[in-house]
Amino acid sequence: MSARSTASGSPTVRLGLRENWPQFALLVATNAFVGGMVGLERTVVPLLGANVFRITSTTIIVSFIVTFGVVKAFSNLVSGHLADAYGRKHMLVFGWLVGLPVPFMLAWGPSWGWVVAANALLGINQGFAWSMTVIMKVDLVGPKSRGLAVGLNEFAGYLAVGVTAFLTGYIAEHYGLRPAPFYLGIAFAALGLGFSALLVRETGQHVGLEISRHAETAEAVNFGQIFRRFGCEVTVVEALDERR
């Protein structure tokens, strides 16, 4: 792999999984913590609604899933754009800062509203932290190993979801629904934030190196342009349908 040295004498920037394996491994571990935060509540939170807060409505109990999904969707929508504007690492740290209160709110929140609010924060955490680990891995490996990078990211994240869901269920069975199962979440959040802030490095220079290899660079497109183009395409399709 070709490389590029920075003007300040900082380490040479290289593309490739082998060349960047320490940072890649850190990002795999970081995404495992992100997945663990989701697994934290999959088993225990519905039981909290029924047994701790005495909620009888199934619709209300599953409201935490709806909140998580909607917030995560919008977080995913903006996270990539913000990463391009402000840096991948900044958005990764932001995701973990938002997620830090989640296990505390689940463990000691006095009402169901606290659980729903925790899931809103968890949606932001997932939308930013998970997305950044994917983007940063792809940045590091370059064009030849992107599929492998994404596969390893998803494997680590969802394996952690499953393992954590099992562990929280086991802990809840032996030590109660709160707060013991959520001690795992406190550890995940602390480690994820620590790794992201202190050990993970920005990968924007790797993107710059890859772009420099291409004679023609694709035009940058913002949200407004995307929606305008989509609207124009819909209008054209409708016009063609009317003519038929």
Query: Looking at the domain assignment, is residue 5 inside a domain?
Result: no
Query: Which of 110, 154, 125 has its CA nearest to residue 67?
Result: 125
The dihedral over CA atoms of 177, 183, 186, 189, expressed in degrees to the nearest 10, equals: -80
Residue ranges of E strands in the chain: 3-4, 13-14
What average pLDDT is seen over the chain? 87
Cβ(124)–Cβ(134) under 8 Å?
Answer: no
Query: Looking at the domain assignment, is residue 15 inside a domain?
Result: yes
pLDDT of residue 14: 87
Q: Is the pLDDT of residue 169 over 60?
A: yes
pLDDT of residue 237: 44
Q: Is the pLDDT of residue 238 over 80?
A: no
Query: Looking at the domain assignment, is residue 46 inside a domain?
Result: yes
pTM summary value: 0.85
Query: Looking at the domain assignment, is residue 64 inside a domain?
Result: yes
Tens-place pLDDT, residues 44-82 = 999 999 999 999 898 888 899 999 999 999 999 999 999
Residues 6+ apart with CB under 8 A from 191: 33
Residues 6+ apart with CB under 8 A from 210: 15, 139, 142, 143
Whole-angstrom Cα distance, residue 82 to residue 179? 35
Query: Which of 198, 144, 167 has its CA nearest to residue 35?
Result: 167
| 3-class secondary-structure state, position 14 | strand
Tens-place pLDDT, residues 104-144 = 999 999 999 999 999 999 999 999 999 999 999 999 998 88
Query: Looking at the domain assignment, is residue 125 inside a domain?
Result: yes
Query: Looking at the domain assignment, is residue 2 inside a domain?
Result: no
Per the structure, the count of domains in the chain is 1
By residue range, what is the domain housing residue 190? 11-218
Query: Looking at the domain assignment, is residue 70 inside a domain?
Result: yes
| 3-class secondary-structure state, position 88 | helix
| CATH number of the domain where residue 207 is located | 1.20.1250.20
Tens-place pLDDT, residues 183-203 = 999 999 999 999 999 999 999
Q: Is the pLDDT of residue 236 over 50?
A: no
Cβ(96)–Cβ(191) under 8 Å?
Answer: no
pLDDT of residue 168: 96
Residues 6+ apart with CB under 8 A from 70: 123
Query: Looking at the domain assignment, is residue 242 inside a domain?
Result: no
DSSP conformational letter for 11: P
